[in-house]
Structure 1
Amino acid sequence: MPSGSIPMITGVVYAYLAFAVLALLWYSRRFTRRRALVFLAASALLGFLVFAPVFPFMVQEVVLGNLPVLIGLVVFIVLVFLAGRIICGQVCAVGAVQELVYLIPVKKHRRTANRRQVAIRAGVFIVILVAGAGFSVNLLARLGLRAFFNLRVASVPFVIFLAILLVSVFFYRPFCRYICPYGALLAPVSSRAVYRLRRTDACINCGKCERACPTGAADPDARLGECYLCGRCTEACPVEGALVYARGGGKD
């Protein structure tokens, strides 16, 4: 169970601070996947301790009538428009646990983003919206978000999310990419983010970034907002300054 000695506001404050620090690391070109691990571990730990920051569940709370939560969600949508999906990448506890288990060294089954995936997530979003607003049914709770982070290991919802997490070992972030209602809102916003990863004229079109990207977002023609700013593409790029986190200018 989450620790009652730590207030939930801790997770909210952490989310804002982590977003700011990560954005600064990207902007100053000091972001590395090793540094990102610190934030992934902290985000996952806070998920277990205080059940925050868990952004998809916050969306579900708004659907069920908890309107004050809406303010925070809107603020982060604006931040994503400015700086990209840093929230999904390293801040959200749900994304963090999936990212961490994906690091387990087994053969991966890469599935790039496509219009069908977008349609599936949009359909799931509508189902969550109708279930919550129309029938007061918390589908994300039934999928095990709260049960997992509260370690209710004997419950069916815990087993359901654990199964999703096991799939995450082989497929990159299935919950984020097919189920998360907040992801459905953030993807189109991040596809037009002011600051995002862009190719410059130094790019030699070697394709290494595209092969390293687990979602296919490194393909300049993708434009589906599925870049989680994980850093795999910049780590794989062999040319200094060919792939940069910047505002405008560049090949995109």
Structure 2
Amino acid sequence: MVVESIPPAVGSIYALLAFAALVWLWHSGRFTRRRAVPFLIISVLLGFLVFAPVFPYQLQGLVLRDAALLGAPLPMALIGTLAFIVLAFVFGRIICGQICPAGAVQEVMHLVPVKKYSSAESRVPVAVRAGIFVVFLAAGLGLGISVLGLLGLADFFNLTVASVSFFVFLGIVLLSAVVYRPFCRYICPYGTLLAPAASRGVYRLRRTDACINCRKCERACPTGAASPDHRLGECYLCGRCTDACPVEGALVYGRGR
């Protein structure tokens, strides 16, 4: 469904503008899950219209050293990839949360009112993703194989329904109705790079002295990142914890203790 008359650069420009807007919403205390919905919708639409900004596929292009796939010179694409990793270290995984179409389409699907299966307290997703990342690098660098291509990421957003891989990613999206972000948590190579940076983020959600230890934020978090002991960088800044918190100022996005 990609519209060739729309330049892919639109996706990059949107990513930068949306990132700035979301950082402002979080920093000003105005972020809510309802206010995140427009960003999710726009991100999903851009995924289908221009297939951008799909960050994991851009990383796939770098691994394959495929400038045509990237739509930009390799040095420029590398700088952009590294820049957003630095931004994740400073501001957290806002890119994964509401901007990347692959993550946004799963977030929207998870809103479907069906019974959810939670793996919030498990380290298994992180370990599985790390293993797949090794396969991703070996297949791309050593064999020139696009793992994300086999999983149907591009075929899904291009609506290439004649391809078997289209239905592979469609299955992942449908699974996200009951399992929170299976692609992001178990597969995404870009998430493997962002998570360590975000786990030590300068700006991130923190508890203050106003916290009453009701643990409502922990029960609301689908990844376990709201737990004080969680250091895996799996916070997608979805806003479930802050929406669930009953005490104003007990959970804030900021720097420092």
TM-score calculated relative to the size of structure 2: 0.95
Query: How far is 1:117 from its partner?
Result: 2.2
Moved more, 90-99 or 67-76: 67-76
Match of 2:8 in 1: 8
User: How far apart, in 1, do the equivalents of 2:112 and 2:126 lie?
Assistant: 27
Match of 1:135 in 2: 143
Match of 2:236 in 1: 228
User: How far apart, in 2, do the equivalents of 1:111 and 1:70 lie?
Assistant: 33
Give structure 1 regions of 4+ aligned residues with deviation exceeding 6 angstroms. none
Match of 1:17 in 2: 17
> C-alpha deviations, 1:4-53, integer Å up to 9, x for none?
11000000110011001000100000111111000000000000000001
Query: How far is 1:154 from its partner?
Result: 1.9
Match of 1:119 in 2: 127
- Residue 38 of structure 1 aligns with an amino acid whose one-letter code is P
1:191 aligns with 2:199: yes
> C-alpha deviations, 1:43-87, integer Å up to 9, x for none?
000000000010110111010014331111100011111100000
Match of 2:45 in 1: 45
CA contact (8 A) 1:83 1:196 kept: yes
Query: How far is 1:114 from its partner?
Result: 3.3
Aligned counterpart in structure 2 of residue 77 of structure 1, from 82, 85, 96: 85
Match of 2:70 in 1: none
CA contact (8 A) 1:43 1:96 kept: yes
> C-alpha deviations, 1:156-175, integer Å up to 9, x for none?
01000001011100000000
User: How far apart, in 2, do the equivalents of 1:222 and 1:32 lie?
Assistant: 22
**Partner SS for 2:206:** strand
- Residue 111 of structure 2 aligns with an amino acid whose one-letter code is L
User: How far apart, in 1, do the equivalents of 2:215 and 2:123 lie?
Assistant: 22
Match of 1:29 in 2: 29
Matches for 1:197-212 after TM superposition, within 5 Å = 197-212=205-220
Match of 1:158 in 2: 166
User: How far apart, in 1, do the equivalents of 2:114 and 2:80 lie?
Assistant: 37
Aligned counterpart in structure 2 of residue 98 of structure 1, from 103, 106, 114: 106
User: How far apart, in 1, do the equivalents of 2:150 and 2:136 lie?
Assistant: 11
- Residue 61 of structure 2 aligns with an amino acid whose one-letter code is E
**Partner SS for 2:177:** coil
- Residue 220 of structure 2 aligns with an amino acid whose one-letter code is A
User: How far apart, in 1, do the equivalents of 2:128 and 2:158 lie?
Assistant: 28
Aligned counterpart in structure 2 of residue 169 of structure 1, from 172, 177, 185: 177
Query: How far is 1:113 from its partner?
Result: 5.0
Query: How far is 1:116 from its partner?
Result: 2.8
Match of 2:94 in 1: 86
Gaps of 5+ in 2: 67-73
User: How far apart, in 1, do the equivalents of 2:31 and 2:126 lie?
Assistant: 28
User: How far apart, in 1, do the equivalents of 2:124 and 2:45 lie?
Assistant: 33
- Residue 30 of structure 2 aligns with an amino acid whose one-letter code is R
- Residue 166 of structure 1 aligns with an amino acid whose one-letter code is L
User: How far apart, in 1, do the equivalents of 2:217 and 2:47 lie?
Assistant: 31
CA contact (8 A) 1:113 1:224 kept: no
- Residue 46 of structure 1 aligns with an amino acid whose one-letter code is L
Gaps of 5+ in 1: none
TM-score calculated relative to the size of structure 1: 0.97
User: How far apart, in 2, do the equivalents of 1:3 and 1:118 lie?
Assistant: 35
**Partner SS for 1:205:** coil
> C-alpha deviations, 1:84-128, integer Å up to 9, x for none?
000000000000000000000001011115333222111100101
User: How far apart, in 2, do the equivalents of 1:116 and 1:48 lie?
Assistant: 31
**Partner SS for 2:21:** helix
User: How far apart, in 1, do the equivalents of 2:187 and 2:142 lie?
Assistant: 19
CA RMSD of aligned residues (A): 0.8
